Amino acid sequence: MAFEVPRSLGPILVHAITSGELMNAECEVVEADPDVWCSYDVKIPIDSEAIELTANIFRSKKLAKEKVKVPVIMCAHPYDNSKLPKLKRASFGVPQQYRLIPQNDGKPKFSDITSWESPDPNFWVQNGYALVNLNLPGYGSSGGKPSVLSYHQSKCYYEAIEYIGAQPWCTGSVGLNGVSFLAISQFHVAACKEYNFTAPPCLKCISPWEGLTDMYRDLMCCGGVREKGFPAFWWATEVKPVISSQDAFLDMEKCLPLEYLEKHPLFDEFWQEKAAQVQHISIPMLACSSFSDHNLHTQGTFRGYERAPSKNKWIYTHRGGKWVEYYKPQVQQLTLRFMNHFLKGIHDPQFAPDTPRCRLEVRSSKDEIYQIRDEADWPIPRTQFTKVFLNAQHKMTMAKSPKPHTSVEYDADHGYTTFTYTFDQDTELTGYFKVRIHFEASHDDDGCIFAVVDKLDKDGKVVHFYGSVGTEKDPVSRGYQKISHRELDPTWSTESQPVYAHTNEHKLKKGDIVQLDVAMFPQATFFYKNESVKLTLASYDIAHSAPYHKISDPSHRKGKHIIHLGDKYDSYLLLPIIPPISS
């Protein structure tokens, strides 16, 4: 673990120093309105656990004096809610992440009583709400033992929501809002296992802004490929400094985050507990998923939206900067209208059940937004899934490769192969790619496939996009597949979205040719006529960006990877083509 921390943090720190971001934080902090009454470290009793959590509660002085009851916007996280610019407890005056992580697409703006990734109390109090920012058990000044996405954690959050809803200054209506972990915790408490997978009665709606819903599949072991960089980065910079004690953490989790996969390599009860049961979420939801957070939150937020049976759900998409987008005035206003509709009963036609559910942003490059429009739902119902078949000339065509069957190969240690398809007309690809290949390993019983989809311009140059943790050279999409984890989960898999079971390993035998369906992260990309899509299949992470570090087992890097093509081996890339609305 000691080696992984500098590997994951080092490149980010070097960029922060050389770019000047370390001394000039990429955010704008303003002073909160004098009307905001700030109550810090308010004790929230969790009677069932005999512990007290702590919350910062922000209310209007004027409304409190007039004894006006207000609904509550609430968030919960492990990041210590006292690290506020106003209290001067944050690194150099602001949350440290704004000095480390590049803020793509601009600078977020918020008040000096806003903690990391949380809703801005200044905005909500001025709009007739109270805001409650809660430390989860064992973090910051909260009592109890710290854990990561445990049943205990969501149970305590559930009871804290009910306590807040019963306060004499609250109307009894609570809505949740926040980014990343503050979104993840919403998915968990809205279907709380300890309360029969229901939401707290006072919880009327949620607005999870980019949060994973399955820690194993979305982050730690996507496609069966292990992630070692982000857990080390997250533990060292955001978790370890604010836990009550490492011994208490180990008492709950039994190991540190970087050791999770050593102890639990397959999807077992440990990981089941950390997966939100989103199929039980029935309360209203306004979610956001970006196409620029592939290695972390993109897949999980879409899963949360798609599987939730709520009749009142909407999703907002973008491919800009995570925090810049969240704090944009138009996003704040959209969230306010959602909360007003469900917490205050102020009817808003945008949130009627029969309105379009998806705000879609389609980009043609990093900084060029081709179109923003409303769609009936996500995935887009009129998607035309189209196969383009891989051939030995490293092209992709609408026609299957002819007989007899052929193959292409590359080195299993550090090799790759590519295939391209050029569009003969303007084309939008929005949704899920899938890669199907027929795979053989010449000298191994296992291995890893790293699949990347890039856009090429008319001159054959790669077109970059914004990506996770500040990268500006992201591909269109990517996917991962460990060969022994190829078994699909029949409950959730579809033709366009393979979902892996991860409950058993299926090793190869000499000469085995196996079918692999590689799941790819969702995206929304426009291709002009004569531009191309390029598929790369590799034995290593060719689209690496710090702090992520996905690895394949060194013992499974011998010989060649062989991709079989043609005849009965229908290896292809599935394109999610969106026909123009006029057609």
CA–CA distance, 49 with 194 (Å, rounded to integer): 13
Q: Is 305 in a helix, a strand, or coil?
A: helix
Position 253 scores a pLDDT of: 97
Position 544 scores a pLDDT of: 87
Buried b (16+ CB within 10 A) or exposed e, 494-503: eebbbbbbbe
**Comparing 214-228, 233-247, 381-395, 519-533, which segment has the lowest mean pLDDT?**
233-247
Contact indicator for 110, 29 with CB cutoff of 8 Å: yes
How large is the average pLDDT for residues 408-417? 95
Contact indicator for 450, 538 with CB cutoff of 8 Å: yes
DSSP secondary structure letters along 465-517: B--GGG-S-B-SEEEEEEGGG--B-TTT--SS---B--SS-----TT--EEEE
* Whether pLDDT at 353 is above 90: no
Position 5 scores a pLDDT of: 65
Selection from 294, 295, 244, 205 nearest residue 80 by Cα? 244
How many Cα atoms are found within 13 Å in the side-chain-facing hemisphere of 211? 31
Residue appearing with tokens 């892996």: 500
CA–CA distance, 358 with 374 (Å, rounded to integer): 6
Strand 51-60 to strand 36-46: parallel, antiparallel, or no bridges (unpaired)? antiparallel
What is the DSSP-derived secondary structure letter of residue 176?
E
Strand 434-441 to strand 560-565: parallel, antiparallel, or no bridges (unpaired)? antiparallel
- For 233-265, what is each residue's pLDDT tens digit? 999 989 999 999 999 999 999 999 999 999 999
* Whether pLDDT at 157 is above 60: yes
How large is the average pLDDT for residues 138-167? 98
Contact indicator for 400, 410 with CB cutoff of 8 Å: no
* Whether pLDDT at 577 is above 90: yes
Selection from 203, 213, 197 nearest residue 280 by Cα? 197
Confidence bin at 15 (pLDDT 50/70/90): confident
- Structural domains for the chain: 4-361+368-375 (3.40.50.1820), 384-578 (2.60.120.260)
Query: At residue 323, what are phi and psi to the nearest 5 degrees?
Result: -80, -30
Position 275 scores a pLDDT of: 98
216: region left, alpha or beta (phi > 0 left; psi from -120 to 50 alpha): alpha
Using a 10 angstrom Cβ sphere, with 0-12 exposed, 13-18 middle and 19 or more buried, the burial of residue 347 is exposed
Q: Is 520 in a helix, a strand, or coil?
A: coil
Q: Count CB atoms within 10 A of the CB of residue 381.
A: 8
* Whether pLDDT at 7 is above 90: no
* Whether pLDDT at 158 is above 70: yes
CA–CA distance, 184 with 364 (Å, rounded to integer): 30
How large is the average pLDDT for residues 403-423? 94
Q: Residue 118 corresponds to which amino acid?
A: S
Position 3 scores a pLDDT of: 54
Selection from 355, 430, 401, 399 nearest residue 565 by Cα? 401
The two tokens of residue 459 are 């001159």
How large is the average pLDDT for residues 370-391? 97
Cα angle: 278, vertex 293, 363; to 5 degrees: 110
How large is the average pLDDT for residues 539-562? 89
What is the pTM (predicted TM-score) of this model? Answer: 0.96
Report the interhelical angle of 181-189 vs 298-307 (nearest 10°): 20
Cα–chain center distance at 568: 37
Confidence bin at 279 (pLDDT 50/70/90): very high
**Comparing 103-112, 124-133, 153-162, 293-302, which segment has the lowest mean pLDDT?**
103-112
- For 32-79, what is each residue's pLDDT tens digit? 999 999 999 999 999 999 999 999 999 999 999 999 999 999 999 999
Contact indicator for 193, 81 with CB cutoff of 8 Å: no
- % of the chain surpassing 90 pLDDT: 86
Contact indicator for 138, 243 with CB cutoff of 8 Å: yes
Q: Is the dihedral of CA 498, 500, 501, 504 positive or negative?
A: positive
The two tokens of residue 209 are 């802004």
CA–CA distance, 135 with 139 (Å, rounded to integer): 6
The two tokens of residue 427 are 């084309």
Average per-residue pLDDT for the chain: 95
Supply the Cα-derived Rg of the chain in whole angstroms: 24
The two tokens of residue 118 are 């949380």
- SS3 of 261-284: the string is HHHCCCCCHHHHHCECCHHHCCCC
